[in-house]
Structure 1
């Protein structure tokens, strides 16, 4: 399977649909990884060597933020029913809970308008704390960076430590994810987009791509983590081996569908706690009960099949040199179909 996946991705590289990437397959208690293509295309072409660090964008939500929230739940410092306002007193909404944020059903908007003008954490939090609801809580699923920024601040408030420190102590060091951090070595990082606005000019390399997280100096609950495919594979394998920082009971809970509803454009959506479940329009939908998945805007994705104890992670900088160049999506689905074919043969 590794060679087949590599061939699929090399086709995309050769068609200039994305620069390159790393991937790992987790199965039979083993991790197998490989890489393709280029670390950078601009200002100069640089070949990948397999040890590059990638901006994993919204994979931050499930690898770091979601895990830290459930660590707090397991130790009794939070519950799914805890009101956000009981931790963050300055927020303008009193009925939103941790559960609402984790399932993206809070009523809060997806994003902050004109995020590329934000310059510091205070500006971001002012917008987040005073966001107005755009739908009735629980009536839709609207994937929200705003909600996970709140979760990140809740983690920092309870621990009284910066998010990067908490993640290192609670997740990365215990799982030996030594290339995962919010403060990577820039020279090892694959660059993302050429940013040209009033806040920043130049290629982002070792600095987070997401504008809100950038304004928060990279320490945000929705984006900001940098990692390697092999590190994330360790995270997934630990879930299968029951050596994770979360209990087996919690990990099983993460696999359960919590809500199935539409977004504001009437598209079907399904959510677990933190993770996405394949909805009716997703290529993996026939195996929705077995799977949790997530994607990242920079071109990353992961898939975890707890029933079969198989996983997959792909990290790319598909938004390099500009987000309009990102054509990773069809290749992602083609790789998923490889797994589907094998699962169908072994039902």
Structure 2
């Protein structure tokens, strides 16, 4: 291979990734992070910078540091398990969700909920609200199904996009129903072990206790979620419960940051709860880029999942689970901003996690960019959105289209 044929200059890429992460550290967005860029069949470029805990110089980010993936769980666990359920004949994306969760037929908007399909949950078009602090009212599958049944829809299924944790909580329940097996066990057996994701785990303190000292911590308490409840007029009936609730004290480390996953669902959910290292994520993405030795997901399903299904409904384009590039959609979609930045091609797709994690894959460039940070340590930084777009821009701009 001639040098001029290589689609990137490694020195420039290393410098750009290093400078980008260091900028985030200097601006106080996160204490440190790790980034992996894989282009075509070249070895991944992996850069670590900073520490995995704010104020601790003795905790440098390492290549095997585990991060709370937050909502990346949606596309790393729930989405592939649903697609595997489809190709093994256990369900169809057009199935009504009441087929698997009949408990939802007892509550508000029953007629609307009868219309919700698996497809609606995957594309965030179900009409379910985005978030509710259900853990203040109950915990466990039975309680969550009852509470979601009692929740009014915010719109007719298929008519709008509302990014919904509730939808992916239900997808986790559906997966457990069709396989008759707990979600974390299914994920370990069908995804992690099959794809060499050696340290990926729900509840890592129980599953991977030897790695406890190398888990990036998140927030100092659940202050951010407490404020979401007390400062939103939608929850006046829950304010007293906030004061009485046994919130975690001190820096959270090794248990999932998300309240519904931790307090309500014992750390295991379709919407959040997964911890993983950069190598776990590299191996996971091989399922989507055709490089997996055990290529689990049918290529037709991969294509179906990674194209826009909401081009007329939302400025943020949604595939199945994934956010997809807006550059092949409407101008309003482009202007609204994409978490992958301004330079991803029309075929690109990705996802982010609240804790500061992200994946973006651009088939045109044959490039996969994975970034793991803990922007919630010790408190939640609101600058992550702007930093993330600029981060993707400056790295993708170094690659040939």
Q: Indicate the residue corresponding to 1:245 in structure 2.
A: 296
Q: Indicate the residue corresponding to 1:103 in structure 2.
A: 123
Q: Indicate the residue corresponding to 1:332 in structure 2.
A: 388
Report how far residue 116 of structure 1 moved. Answer: 5.8
From 248, 254, 261, the equivalent of 2:305 is: 254
Report how far residue 18 of structure 1 moved. Answer: 1.0
Q: Does 1:189 align with 2:215?
A: yes
Q: Indicate the residue corresponding to 1:175 in structure 2.
A: 195
- Give the whole-Å Cα distance in 2 for the aligned partners of 1:322 and 1:313: 23
Report how far residue 168 of structure 1 moved. Answer: 0.7
Within-5 A mapping of 1:310-329: 310-323=367-380, 325-329=381-385
Q: Indicate the residue corresponding to 2:252 in structure 1.
A: 204
- Give the whole-Å Cα distance in 2 for the aligned partners of 1:245 and 1:307: 22
Deviates more, 1:283-292 or 1:10-19: 283-292
Structure 1: gaps of 5 or more residues: none
Report how far residue 219 of structure 1 moved. Answer: 1.0
Deviates more, 1:44-53 or 1:12-21: 44-53
- Give the whole-Å Cα distance in 2 for the aligned partners of 1:224 and 1:44: 27
- Give the whole-Å Cα distance in 1 for the aligned partners of 2:322 and 2:303: 12
Q: 1:188 to 1:326 in 2, by over 3 A?
A: farther
RMSD: 2.1
**Structure-1-length-normalised TM-score:** 0.91
Report how far residue 45 of structure 1 moved. Answer: 6.2
Q: 1:288 to 1:110 in 2, by over 3 A?
A: farther
Q: Does 1:282 align with 2:337?
A: yes
Q: Indicate the residue corresponding to 1:38 in structure 2.
A: 51
- Check conservation: 2:65, 2:214, Cα contact below 8 A: yes
Report how far residue 262 of structure 1 moved. Answer: 4.7
- Check conservation: 1:26, 1:237, Cα contact below 8 A: no
**Structure-2-length-normalised TM-score:** 0.79
Structure 2: gaps of 5 or more residues: 1-12, 106-112, 206-211, 223-244, 326-332
- Give the whole-Å Cα distance in 1 for the aligned partners of 2:288 and 2:39: 12
Q: Does 1:4 align with 2:16?
A: yes
Give CA-to-partner distance per residue, 1:274-303, whole Å, 9 cap, x none.
Answer: 101133222545645211111100011110
Within-5 A mapping of 1:1-347: 1-29=13-41, 30-41=43-54, 46-92=59-105, 93-112=113-132, 114-115=133-134, 117=136, 120-121=139-140, 122-185=142-205, 186-195=212-221, 198-214=246-262, 215-243=264-292, 244-262=295-313, 268-278=315-325, 279-280=333-334, 281-283=336-338, 284=341, 287=344, 289-323=346-380, 325-342=381-398, 345-346=400-401
Report how far residue 64 of structure 1 moved. Answer: 0.8
SS at match of 2:266: coil
Q: 1:45 to 1:198 in 2, by over 3 A?
A: farther
Q: 1:182 to 1:153 in 2, by over 3 A?
A: same
- Give the whole-Å Cα distance in 1 for the aligned partners of 2:146 and 2:135: 15
SS at match of 1:194: coil
Q: How many residues align?
A: 339
Q: Higher helix proportion, which one?
A: 2
- Check conservation: 2:128, 2:153, Cα contact below 8 A: yes
Q: Higher strand proportion, which one?
A: 1
Give CA-to-partner distance per residue, 1:263-282, whole Å, 9 cap, x none.
Answer: 6xxxx221111101133222
